[in-house]
Amino acid sequence: MKLHQVRILHRQPLFLGALLGCFAGWAVGCSNGAPGGEGTGGTGSGGAAMGGSASTPPATGGSATGGISTTGGGGTLQGSGGVVTGGSATMPPATGGATGGSSTGGNTAGGAFQAAGGTNSGGVASSGGSVTGGKATGGSATGGTGVGGRPTGGVATGGITAGGTGGVVSTGGASGGSTATGGSTATGPLAATPPMGWNSWNKFAGSITDTLVRGIADAMVSSGMQAAGYQYINIDDMWQASSRDSNGNIQPSSSKFPNGMKALADYVHGKGLKLGLYSDRGTKTCAGLPGSYSYETKDAQSYASWGVDYLKYDNCSPASGSNIQTDYTNMANALKAAGRPILFSICAWWFYDWETSIGQMWRTGTDIKDAWDTDSHSFIPLLNNNGGWSGRYSNASYGSPGLSQHAGPGHWNDPDMLEVGNGGMTDTEYQSHFSLWAIMAAPLIAGNDVRSMTAATKNILTNADVIAVDQDALGIQGKPISTSTTLEVWSKKLSGSQTYAVVLFNRTTASASIAVTWSSLGITSASATVRDLWTHTDLGPTATQYAATVPSHGVVMLKVVGQ
């Protein structure tokens, strides 16, 4: 039995607080970057580009071969043969919006193009790497936009183009290969789009080792997960030794992590990925290992010194007389003071209004388990909890208009990690799980063994059309809009005029036809184009509505654009 299955009952959260929207205090997190960057550049062949970095050691982008041409204004860029080789840096992306240039390996074709929050979504990743805030094609990139700016010089592909709101447009890779250097330091928001990554708990619980995590990191790259946008490798509970060292420092289990966390973080960063760890606001974690209560500053400093990029912070074993808000705030402040951008993932099993001002994501309910609807931990209750509004579902007790109002760039509702591929549900059900998480703009944290995925699992987890819905720059959390609560229509406004994602979701045990009307989405024009996001087919302009047969427990997921 998994640990989390035996210690759930104590979590009966009390929710009384008023629901608040975006606070002025985190205006950064509430801002949207304008999509598309500006790029200028020439055509060239050859050329050396030195990727920029910020507060961390500069990364050398390496030399670029091949030409690249860009056109500015629209943020389009076409490159051919623009392969950057080499480049290395052991440090992760620099503070805030350093991109590309600080990844080991530079911005290699097929490699990662890392953004540490300074770039905003609005970009597109295609072949050549995963991108936040830009567009990568074969290793070339147009600058995305970022709140807080985006350093120039961070991306190199036969030249450099980087730019964006608040950033600088640079010209690089001009004919003959000019050299662009630079990389301004810009501090941008963490989690401009819902965080994507992997977490050890759902599949491995306490069976985690340095070897496993390295193997997962390798597989994240070789399987295409990284290219699809997954960034964080998160080690959950049970990485710690059973006690702190004689100076009170938290330390990893020496048998599981004999090389220490810094070496592991370096390895993960070397893959262009980021490392996450887990702790708890109480005296002990949920598995009974040392918690961070009263050690917040020390622990945050340890994480920063190791190169940790993400902290999941749990809610077990509160100290006597402690206050939940104070405990979480203490760690949020300690992370901020530690001198490294560390995404703060609050795991308090319920929504509290104060969470939105101190974390980038927060669990909205109890632990997920790999089952469709057997008890309160199953997929369906967690979906209802996170996705319901106005009392639409009996257990949606957050009040009108529900949780969706709290989602947006820099701050996300977290219905818990994905179970896709863990074996307890059918592939049709996993497709629904993934689609509904995406339309809710939920963090996409895979929880399966990515070293041995079936083709079906991989196909689900790396579906670029569906991921694009989750990662849409507007950051709107979609909601059910149908009156039926068994044959449902969900809608999410996407960037672009009259553009929506739609999920037709069949909760029943028999296949059924479900229709979405354009007027129910808010589309005013008579016809709309429809793209099926699972079959990847464009269905052409359709008048008034679209109807499809949806399998039992399945979805049809669409992108609809009013014409």
**Looking at beta carbons only, is 237 or 296 nearer to ligand GLA?**
237
Among 56-64, 241-249, 259-267, 283-291, the segment contacting ligand GLA (CB under 6 A): 283-291
d(CA 406, CA 475): 10
Under the binding rule (CB under 6 A), the answer on residue 414 touching ligand GLA is no
CB 183 within 8 A of CB 51: yes
Under the binding rule (CB under 6 A), the answer on residue 236 touching ligand GLA is yes
Going through 474-536 in order, the beta strands assigned E by DSSP cover 479-480, 487-493, 499-506, 512-517, 527-532
Q: Mask 334-353, x = binds ligand GLA (CB under 6 A)?
A: -------------x------
Report the b/e string of 454-490 with b at 16+ CB within 10 A.
eeebbebbbbbbbbbbbbbbbbbbbbbbbeeeebbbb
Q: Mask 194-213, x = binds ligand GLA (CB under 6 A)?
A: -------x------------
**Looking at beta carbons only, is 208 or 548 nearer to ligand GLA?**
208
Total number of residues that touch ligand GLA (CB under 6 A): 11
DSSP 404: G
Under the binding rule (CB under 6 A), the answer on residue 155 touching ligand GLA is no
Shortest spacing between CB 392 and ligand GLA, in angstroms: 25
Under the binding rule (CB under 6 A), the answer on residue 287 touching ligand GLA is yes
- Which pair of structure tokens corresponds to residue 420? 């896709």
Largest distance between two CA atoms of the chain:
71
Under the binding rule (CB under 6 A), the answer on residue 370 touching ligand GLA is no
**Looking at beta carbons only, is 314 or 470 nearer to ligand GLA?**
314
Under the binding rule (CB under 6 A), the answer on residue 314 touching ligand GLA is yes
d(CA 446, CA 57): 31
d(CA 91, CA 156): 18
Among 106-114, 280-288, 382-390, 473-481, the segment contacting ligand GLA (CB under 6 A): 280-288
Shortest spacing between CB 236 and ligand GLA, in angstroms: 5
According to DSSP, the residues that pair with 500 across neighbouring strands are: 493, 560
Under the binding rule (CB under 6 A), the answer on residue 3 touching ligand GLA is yes
* Helix H or strand E encompassing 29: helix 27-30
Active centre residues (catalytic): 314, 367
According to DSSP, the residues that pair with 489 across neighbouring strands are: 504
Under the binding rule (CB under 6 A), the answer on residue 277 touching ligand GLA is no
Shortest spacing between CB 159 and ligand GLA, in angstroms: 44
Shortest spacing between CB 408 and ligand GLA, in angstroms: 23
Question: How open is the CA angle 335-352-312, to the nearest 5 degrees?
Answer: 35
**Looking at beta carbons only, is 45 or 322 nearer to ligand GLA?**
322
Q: Quickly count: other Cβ atoms within 10 Å of residue 269's Cβ.
A: 26
Sequence length of the chain is 563
Among 38, 299, 327, 367, binds ligand GLA (CB under 6 A): 367
Among 38, 210, 237, 429, binds ligand GLA (CB under 6 A): 237
**Looking at beta carbons only, is 279 or 302 nearer to ligand GLA?**
279
Shortest spacing between CB 332 and ligand GLA, in angstroms: 18
CB 300 within 8 A of CB 310: no
Shortest spacing between CB 353 and ligand GLA, in angstroms: 20
**Looking at beta carbons only, is 314 or 429 nearer to ligand GLA?**
314
Under the binding rule (CB under 6 A), the answer on residue 150 touching ligand GLA is no
Among 171-179, 285-293, 319-327, 449-457, the segment contacting ligand GLA (CB under 6 A): 285-293
Shortest spacing between CB 41 and ligand GLA, in angstroms: 45
- Which pair of structure tokens corresponds to residue 66? 């091949």
**Looking at beta carbons only, is 201 or 389 nearer to ligand GLA?**
201
Under the binding rule (CB under 6 A), the answer on residue 4 touching ligand GLA is yes
Under the binding rule (CB under 6 A), the answer on residue 288 touching ligand GLA is no
Shortest spacing between CB 230 and ligand GLA, in angstroms: 18
CB 286 within 8 A of CB 314: yes
- The beta-carbon contacts of 295-301 under 8 Å, at least 24 apart in sequence, are 295/244, 295/248, 295/250, 296/330, 296/331, 296/333, 296/334, 297/334, 297/337, 298/248, 298/249, 298/250, 299/250, 299/331, 299/334, 300/331, 300/334, 300/335, 300/337, 300/338, 300/342, 301/334, 301/338
3-state helix, strand and coil shares in percent for the chain, rounded to the nearest 5: 20, 20, 60
Q: Which residues bind ligand GLA (CB under 6 A)?
A: 3-4, 201, 236-237, 285-287, 314, 347, 367
